[in-house]
Amino acid sequence: MHYLTVKLLLLRAPQCAGAFLLLSLSLLISSCDETSYTPEWERQGSAGESSNSPATQRAPQPSQTVAGQPTTAPVKQVQDQELRFVSYNIKNYLTMSRFVDGERKDRQKPGREIEALVEIIVSARPDVLGICEIGSREDLAELQKKLADRGLPLAHSEHAGGADTTRKLGLLSRYPIISTDSQGADGSLTYRSVDADNLPKEFAMQRGILDATVAAGSQKIRFLGVHLKSKREVPYGHQDLMRRHEAYLLRRHADRILEMDPETLLCVYGDFNDTRRESPVRSIQGPTQSTRYLEPLHHTDSRGHVWTHYWEYQQVYSRFDYVLASRSLRPLFNQQTSYIIDSPGWSRASDHRALVSIFKLQR
């Protein structure tokens, strides 16, 4: 009962009932908790979001810093309870022909793009960073130093590639890399297909397979990174067939690992350049009932969207970037705290958005 309603009743009620109504009002006010009149959405927050919405799950709370790190716990304590893995196509961090200010010539990635890229990575605080479209080993070392200068030391690294002499794969880690078995740099990853004229031809995998095992505490997580053939047409072959064959080579490599040790904590990641129901992605996953099934891990941004790439030329938003987990690794994935980075400056850094995957570390 609202106060104004009671007041009107008092004014209109007979004098003999006034005392009774006044006493009832006093008892009502003394027994009520004022929060019972607060709407549910108002108690949850001014944004009106439910407690299980993606934005609410990942939004920094008042007790956290801008980077999302609780101020009540040191960084090392939180990191030792989880492994933060960031998978990211960093868009041509290399020297290549670029058209700038009306002139085309070989240039490095522009400084403003690098600054935006470093800001995104540092804010994500990865323990392990898997990247596509890095250039030479020197380019990887340069990025490693820039991150360290900003307070993110990732001292251990692996660099890998295939037939493409420009775009490579890289992995940086704060945990030791205890073994590597990267494939393709020697041209050994080849397949038979047909060229643009439908004639038989042998092709080499363009970016190879990065294979590095990281020791995080008592656990060993094996990372396979890949960047499959893009959807851009090329004069020497069918881009879709090339991508399917490269996906098969990755699946074959993963099968060998899981055949030797089915309990391997295997994380397969990268830019697959295709959508989830297409042949390359499905062949990498494998049959769902198989013990060697690789499950695509679910990520969303703060709006609940799942796309990771914007192709400006075609004006198409797509999910091209994936993180897949073996059956032994999947239970360690924390879906609630994993996400796609959608900070305002994402498009200045790359045409892809990074995936942040959180894995629990067992002691």
pLDDT 10s digits, 307-321: 999 998 889 999 999
Annotated domain spans of the chain: 83-360
Q: For 197, phi and psi rounded to 5 degrees?
A: -100, 15
* Rounded Cα–Cα distance for residues 235 and 205 (Å): 16
Query: 317 is written with which tokens?
Result: 């938003």
Give yes or no for a contact between 126 and 175, defined as CB atoms under 8 angstroms apart: no
Residue 344 above 80 pLDDT?
yes
Q: Is 360 helix (H, G, I), strand (E, B) or coil?
A: strand
Give the mean model confidence (pLDDT) for residues 286-296: 95
CATH of 83-360, one of 3.60.10.10, 1.20.58.1030, 3.90.850.10, 1.20.140.10: 3.60.10.10
Give the mean model confidence (pLDDT) for residues 223-231: 97
The structure's pTM equals 0.78
* Rounded Cα–Cα distance for residues 90 and 135 (Å): 10
CB atoms within 10 A of CB 70: 14
Query: 105 vs 98, 189, 289, CA distance in Å?
Result: 6, 32, 51
Query: For residue 48, which amino acid is it?
Result: G
Q: pLDDT tens digit string along 136-168?
A: 999 999 999 999 999 999 999 999 999 999 999
Residue 336 above 60 pLDDT?
yes
Among the ranges given (20-34, 40-54, 162-176, 183-197), the one the predictor scored with the smallest mean pLDDT: 40-54
Query: What local confidence, expressed as pLDDT, does residue 80 receive?
Result: 58
Q: Is 32 helix (H, G, I), strand (E, B) or coil?
A: coil
